[in-house]
Amino acid sequence: MQTELSFLELFFGASFIVQIVIIILFILAGTSWWFIFDKWLTLTRAKKDIFEFEDKFWNSKNTEKFFTDQKRQSHHFGLSQIFIIVHEELKKFENLKESENTIAKSIQIIISRQEEKLEEGLSFLSTVASVSPFIGLFGTVWGVMNAFSGLAQLSQVSINAVAPGISEALVATALGLFAAIPALISYNWSVKSIDSIIKGYENFSDELLISYQDRDE
């Protein structure tokens, strides 16, 4: 409780500019945490879907029945969408060689669209990670300037006169780091996860085409 009151005292005792900086950093931190949770949930689910779909597909004995079951689902994403497109395209041709270019383009389009969806919010996290420390630093510099400018009006200068102003200014830097560090960690993890997911899509696509080639032969 004491810490909360101390922070409130620092906030209300800070200059107007520093208060605006603190509010902006709180908004950025709160919004970035929402994106962090959303990316973690989305990417974790996408990784899980890859393992589950591959396990079901490669263990299925009837491809046509598996295709029908997938079509009945209301939502198609990732490997499910790739499989459905490939299977539908193959139905239009007698063998894979006749439709190979069309299928390859369709797969590439699907993967590109999936990648765009998975990357939603990453630009915001990157912006927060790179900009927040500078916003916090601006608030600190401004607060320090006000603290030292106030010393000119005092006949006697002591550490007790400077400390409150410096403390108020450093709060902005601390909040800037508080917003930036989680955003940076989440951004790097998300980029690595997306690369892994896209690689999984591409590997499955190649294995799927090879399996259909073997059937044609």
Q: Which one has a higher pLDDT value, 95 or 195?
A: 195
Does 148 reside within a domain? yes
Mean pLDDT over each residue of the chain, to the nearest integer: 81
pLDDT at 40: 94
User: Tens digits of per-residue pLDDT, 111-128?
Assistant: 998 999 999 999 999 999
Measured between alpha carbons, how far is 146 from 134 in angstroms, rounded to an integer?
A: 18
The burial of 78, by beta-carbon neighbours within 10 Å (0-12 exposed, 13-18 middle, 19 or more buried), is given as buried
Q: Which one has a higher pLDDT value, 25 or 16?
A: 25
Query: Residue 124 corresponds to which tokens in the numbers above?
Result: 């915001």
The burial of 164, by beta-carbon neighbours within 10 Å (0-12 exposed, 13-18 middle, 19 or more buried), is given as middle
Distant-in-sequence, close-in-space partners of 95: CB < 8 Å, separation ≥ 6 = 216
Annotate 80-116 with b (16+ C-beta within 10 A) or e (fewer). bbbbbbbbebbeeeeebeebeeebeebbeebbeebee
Segment 11-18 mean pLDDT: 73
Measured between alpha carbons, how far is 56 from 196 in angstroms, rounded to an integer?
A: 20
- Kindly report the number of other CB atoms within 10 A of residue 203's CB atom: 12
Does 9 reside within a domain? no
Distant-in-sequence, close-in-space partners of 22: CB < 8 Å, separation ≥ 6 = 11, 14, 139, 171, 172, 175
pLDDT at 190: 95
- Contact by Cβ (8 Å): 95, 216: yes
Q: What pTM was estimated for this model as a whole?
A: 0.80
Question: Amino acid letter at 4?
Answer: E
Number of domains in the chain: 1
Does 153 reside within a domain? yes
Does 69 reside within a domain? no
Q: How confident is the model at residue 176 (pLDDT cuts 50, 70, 90)?
A: very high
Distant-in-sequence, close-in-space partners of 168: CB < 8 Å, separation ≥ 6 = 10, 11, 13, 14, 15, 18, 143, 147
- Contact by Cβ (8 Å): 42, 189: no
Q: Which one has a higher pLDDT value, 128 or 88?
A: 128
Q: Which one has a higher pLDDT value, 184 or 143?
A: 184
Q: Which one has a higher pLDDT value, 27 or 71?
A: 27
Helices 96-118 and 159-216, axial angle in degrees (round to 10): 170
- Residue 128: name the closest of 8, 51, 28 by CA: 28
Q: How confident is the model at residue 32 (pLDDT cuts 50, 70, 90)?
A: very high
Q: Which domain range does residue 127 map to? A: 17-51+77-216
Does 3 reside within a domain? no
Segment 87-113 mean pLDDT: 77
